[in-house]
């Protein structure tokens, strides 16, 4: 049991490859275990995350033992947000670089093993904008808001197509490089084979001549 609590059971959940992915998910966190969620975020995009423990009994207040620690790290490993022994919280930041940002949750060991349900809402890109604020500011009506959202979705689709195109180009270059490498390597192996055979032949010839067998 101790070993199990020492070994971090990390369920790595990579959420969303698209920068405008959004998720609100619930997962179960066992005491003594760790669960990590990571998301691929593009640089210069806003990210907002909210987490809280789900109360198993609606009628009663939350018991003290249902607390966990959280840490959000950048792809470089810098810690962007940490919290210890909390049951709710939130974080927001603008991604400085492209890459996988990871949010890890761990619950301390407890003698009867507790399994708590953590509700985690992590939005980045388009979904991170607080739409209610935008509505109040510009006094736009709901339909215009919806159309604005659609426009942003279309823009992100367009950007994603560019990204996919770039990746395809890189893959083509990679395959070309592999083909040409194989071509040259096959010549090299032929040359190596012949030279090894030649060296063997020459060496044995001089050896036998020295031994006066030839």
Partner 1 sequence: MERKWRKISGLIGLLLLNFMNNVSSLSLTITKVECVYEIVRFEGDIVSGNFVVVDHHIFWSSDHPGIDFSITSPGGDILHNLKGTSGDKFSFKAPRSGLYQFCFHNPLSTPETIALYIHIGHIPNEHNLAKNEHVDPINVKIAELREALEAVTTEQKYLKARDAVHRRTNESTKKRVIGYTVGEYILLTIASVLQVVYIRRLFSKSVGYNRI
Among 31, 35, 73, 103, binds partner 1 (CB under 8 A): 35
- d(CA 119, CA 185) in angstroms, rounded, equals 54
Q: Up-side HSE of residue 115: CA atoms within 13 Å toward CB?
A: 3
Among 19, 31, 32, 38, binds partner 1 (CB under 8 A): 38
Among 67, 117, 135, 148, binds partner 1 (CB under 8 A): 117
**Strands, DSSP E only, in 87-154?**
88-94, 99-106, 115-124
Q: Residue 29 phi/psi, 5° resolution? A: -115, 120
Q: Residue 129 gets which letter from DSSP? A: S
Please spell the DSSP secondary structure of 13-38, one letter per residue. Answer: EEE-SSTT-EEEEEEEEEBT-EEEEE
Q: Is 136 a residue that touches partner 1 (CB under 8 A)?
A: no
Contact call for residues 124 and 39 (beta carbons, < 8 A): yes
Contacts to partner 1 from residues 158-177, by CB under 8 A:
160-161, 163-164, 167-168, 170-171, 174-175, 177
Contacts to partner 1 from residues 69-108, by CB under 8 A:
100
Q: Is 178 a residue that touches partner 1 (CB under 8 A)?
A: yes
Nearest CA to 54 among 121, 123, 116? Answer: 116
Among 56, 86, 92, 207, binds partner 1 (CB under 8 A): 207
The CA radius of gyration of the chain, in Å to the nearest whole number, is 29
Among 134, 203, 205, 206, binds partner 1 (CB under 8 A): 203
Nearer to partner 1, 59 or 213 (CB): 213
Q: Report the nearest approach of partner 1 to the CB of residue 192 (Å).
A: 6
Nearer to partner 1, 35 or 95 (CB): 35
Q: Is 190 a residue that touches partner 1 (CB under 8 A)?
A: no
Q: Is 205 a residue that touches partner 1 (CB under 8 A)?
A: no
Q: Is 140 a residue that touches partner 1 (CB under 8 A)?
A: no
Q: Is 42 a residue that touches partner 1 (CB under 8 A)?
A: no
Q: Up-side HSE of residue 111: CA atoms within 13 Å toward CB?
A: 0
Task: Name the 3-class secondary structure at 162.
Answer: helix
Nearer to partner 1, 7 or 92 (CB): 7
Count of residues interacting with partner 1 (CB under 8 A) = 71
Contact call for residues 104 and 73 (beta carbons, < 8 A): yes
Q: Is 214 a residue that touches partner 1 (CB under 8 A)?
A: no
């Amino acid at each position: 049991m101790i070993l199990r609590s020492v070994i971090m059971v990390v369920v790595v959940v990579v959420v969303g490859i698209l920068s405008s992915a959004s998720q609100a998910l619930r997962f179960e966190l066992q005491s003594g275990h760790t669960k990590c969620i990571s998301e691929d975020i593009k640089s210069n995009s806003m990210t907002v995350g909210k987490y809280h423990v789900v109360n198993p009994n609606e009628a009663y207040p939350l018991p003290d033992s249902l607390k966990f620690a959280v840490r959000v790290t950048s792809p470089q490993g810098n810690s962007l947000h940490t919290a210890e022994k909390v049951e709710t919280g939130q974080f927001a930041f603008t991604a400085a670089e492209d890459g996988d940002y990871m949010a890890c949750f761990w619950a301390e060991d407890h003698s009867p093993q507790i399994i708590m349900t953590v509700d985690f809402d992590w939005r980045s890109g388009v979904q991170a904008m607080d739409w209610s604020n935008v509505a109040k500011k510009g006094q736009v009506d709901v339909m215009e808001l919806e159309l604005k959202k659609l426009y942003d979705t279309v823009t992100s689709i367009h950007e994603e197509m560019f990204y996919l195109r770039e990746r395809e180009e890189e893959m083509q270059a990679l395959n070309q490089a592999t083909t040409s490498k194989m071509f040259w390597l096959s010549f090299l192996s032929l040359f190596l084979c012949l030279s090894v055979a030649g060296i063997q032949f020459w060496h044995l010839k001089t050896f036998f001549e020295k031994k006066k067998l030839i």
